[in-house]
Amino acid sequence: MDDKIETTAEHVEADALRPCRAATTMRGEAGTVEREPLPEAVAKKPVDQKSPAEWAYQRLILYIKNFEKTLDDEHEIAMGFTDTGAGFLRIEGLGYFDPDIVTFYGTDQVGMRMQLVQHVSQLNVLLRALPKAPEAGEPRRIGFELAKALDEDG
């Protein structure tokens, strides 16, 4: 039991603060997601009212969007697989199914449809820069498109 007494304002402020941190030695890179304020649509629902899947989904979108800030016009984002031999998934979408499933939609290196369905307890995502498809004009920046869904979900 804690004998600390909090005012209502202190309690609300503590609840609003995110328990996160990042320390890096990167030079010339975009800032880290952990150092940026949450978008209003994400912050308006308290974390303790979100399922693990919803909270993972929202943060993954923020990580994808931030990673894309570091890419030049010749690269797009993809997700690498470290232990399946499946290569990579060029991310085209992201979803979740409460309470505990996150899914990635996309294509593999030869353009075949792929979908990764993962339990949040097993979630680990390797974001990777890949050259954009030769026939593509502008590189796709899905993080910004996915971030729009955060506003709609709120």
- On whether residue 131 sits in a domain, the answer given is yes
Assigned domain for 130 exists: yes
Query: CA distances (Å), 10 to each of 6, 16, 17, 88, 129, in order?
Result: 6, 10, 11, 45, 42
Q: Is residue 90 part of a domain?
A: yes
* Cα three-residue angle 141-145-149, rounded to 5 degrees: 155
In-domain check, residue 13: no
Q: Which of 39, 76, 37 is nearest to 58 (CA)?
A: 39
pLDDT tens string 105-153? 888 888 888 888 899 999 888 888 888 877 778 888 888 888 887 777 6
Domain count, the chain: 1
- Residue 83: domain span: 44-153
Tens digits of per-residue pLDDT, 4-46? Answer: 565 655 545 555 555 676 676 666 555 777 878 888 889 899 8
